[in-house]
Structure 1
Amino acid sequence: MLFRRRKPADILERMRTMLWPRRSFWRSAQYFTKRVLRLTATPHAIAAGVAAGVFASFLPFIGFHFLLAAAVAWLLAGNLIASALGTAIGNPITFPLIWASSYKLGCAILGSSATHGNAPIQLGKLWERLEFNQLWEPLLKPMTVGGIPIGLAFAITFYVVTRWAVAGFRRQRQNRLLEKARRRAEAQAQTLATDSI
């Protein structure tokens, strides 16, 4: 391979880079931004895809975010790749904030208390036995109800920002290409003028 490491990374190094990128989160954010801006689709399709991915990240159905984002992007005539990139808003750093805020808002909307009496939710036992119906009422239902309005607010914001950024990026790129073509035409005209003399 062309860019292979000389010394292969051991298991601890791989675990560290999974949790904390080698070259900072800012560089990873720039990478995702450039990937979105360079997609070949209309600005609406790219922005709708990103918005669908952001919205899906606010729902508590981990493992299904890509599928939910793809379905919402398809309904909005959005780009499927942009929807997958939009789900990056939900990551190990943001998930605790997303889950806590959606749970609290869902409990407020449903009018239920966050503690459900004195009995704590035994998540380990519920996941062990895969009792979805017992997990739905105390946890997933409030998170879903609370995640929808928060997800919609963030999705609309990301749609507007992404559409504006993609349109501006394409305008700048077109201006750069026109300027380059103009300089090339002037250079050719000068070489023709000097050759004719």
Structure 2
Amino acid sequence: MFKRPLRYYYLKIMRQKGSPHQVAVGVSIGVCVGLIVPPGGQILILIAILPFIKCNKLLPIVGCTISNPITFGPLYAFYFWLGKLVTGLEASFKKPDVNMSTWEWLSELWQKGGDILIILLVGGLICTFVGTITCYYITKAMVTSFRGRKVNKQLNRMDDINRKLADEANRIRENSDHDS
């Protein structure tokens, strides 16, 4: 189910033009924006910053897909958990109680909103920093390795062709020696 799309994106990234550094920068910028900017604003942010960055322009969009409807909930839950752990802030609020009016519950939520925002921001920034740096080095290594294997395959094919040509030349030489 996921193997085909993953392979598609993998090959799409590996075959992009540019140095391994430029490819890795493109993917990691997309991951950075995908992790820190809520969905809806990601493409707008990319459109605003990409003219100033020397990288492949398609890859940030691919990297941005790290945040999607499937991963959005778990990402923000992890940001919240990590942010609470790092900041030490408590921002839990009660579910609406039967005796609690809607206004009381919304008032409590509003009061805790600042803490929730700080917790999410701290957790999100930590994950974004770690994710972006990790993505850069992994992507650069993968592109370098992929291109190295591709060059090795081409060299092996050339060796095979050279071997066949040498064998054919030897065969022709042997035939011409027998004829004389």
Tell me the TM-score range normalised by the shorter chain.
Answer: 0.7 to 0.9
- Structure 1 position 119 matched with structure 2 position 105: yes
- Does structure 1 retain, via aligned residues, the 8 Å contact 2:30–2:61? yes
What RMSD in Å do the two structures reach over aligned CA positions?
3.3
Give the Cα–Cα distance (whole angstroms) in 1 for the partners of residues 140 and 130 of structure 2. 16
- Does structure 1 retain, via aligned residues, the 8 Å contact 2:91–2:116? no
Partner residue of 2:124 out of 138, 147, 159: 147
Structure 1 residue 36 displacement after superposition: 0.8
Give the Cα–Cα distance (whole angstroms) in 2 for the partners of residues 164 and 69 of structure 1. 24
- Does structure 2 retain, via aligned residues, the 8 Å contact 1:60–1:144? no
Aligned residue type for 2:64: T
Structure 1 residue 111 displacement after superposition: 6.7
Aligned residue type for 2:22: A
Structure 1 residue 158 displacement after superposition: 1.1
The superposition leaves residues 8-63 of structure 1 with CA deviations (integer Å, 9 ceiling, x where unpaired) of xxxxxxxxxxxxxxxx1132222211111111111111111111111111124211
Pairing of 1:100-115 with structure 2 (within 5 A): 100-106=77-83, 113-115=90-92
The superposition leaves residues 53-83 of structure 1 with CA deviations (integer Å, 9 ceiling, x where unpaired) of 1111112421122343455565553322111
- Greater RCO, 1 or 2 (C-alpha within 8 Å, sep 6+): 2
Paired residue total: 163
- Does structure 2 retain, via aligned residues, the 8 Å contact 1:48–1:73? no
Partner of 2:36: 59
Partner of 1:68: 45
Partner residue of 2:13 out of 36, 52, 66: 36
The superposition leaves residues 143-188 of structure 1 with CA deviations (integer Å, 9 ceiling, x where unpaired) of 3443122111111111111111111111111111111112112222
Relative to structure 1, is the Cα distance of residues 187 and 120 closer, same or farther in structure 2, using a 3 angstrom cutoff? farther
Partner of 2:72: 95
Relative to structure 1, is the Cα distance of residues 68 and 50 closer, same or farther in structure 2, using a 3 angstrom cutoff? same
Structure showing greater Rg: 2
Aligned residue type for 1:162: T
Partner of 1:15: none
Question: After alignment, is 56-65 or 110-119 more displaced?
Answer: 110-119
- Structure 1 position 190 matched with structure 2 position 176: no
Q: Which runs of 5+ in 2 are unaligned?
A: 95-103, 108-112
Aligned residue type for 1:156: I
Give the Cα–Cα distance (whole angstroms) in 1 for the partners of residues 85 and 53 of structure 2. 29
The superposition leaves residues 73-132 of structure 1 with CA deviations (integer Å, 9 ceiling, x where unpaired) of 6555332211111112112221111112223445666775424786348xxxxxxxxxxx
TM-score normalised according to structure 2 size: 0.72
Give the Cα–Cα distance (whole angstroms) in 1 for the partners of residues 52 and 35 of structure 2. 18
- Structure 1 position 180 matched with structure 2 position 157: yes
Relative to structure 1, is the Cα distance of residues 181 and 80 closer, same or farther in structure 2, using a 3 angstrom cutoff? same
- Structure 1 position 50 matched with structure 2 position 36: no
Q: Percent identity among equivalent residues?
A: 26
Give the Cα–Cα distance (whole angstroms) in 2 for the partners of residues 159 and 74 of structure 1. 19
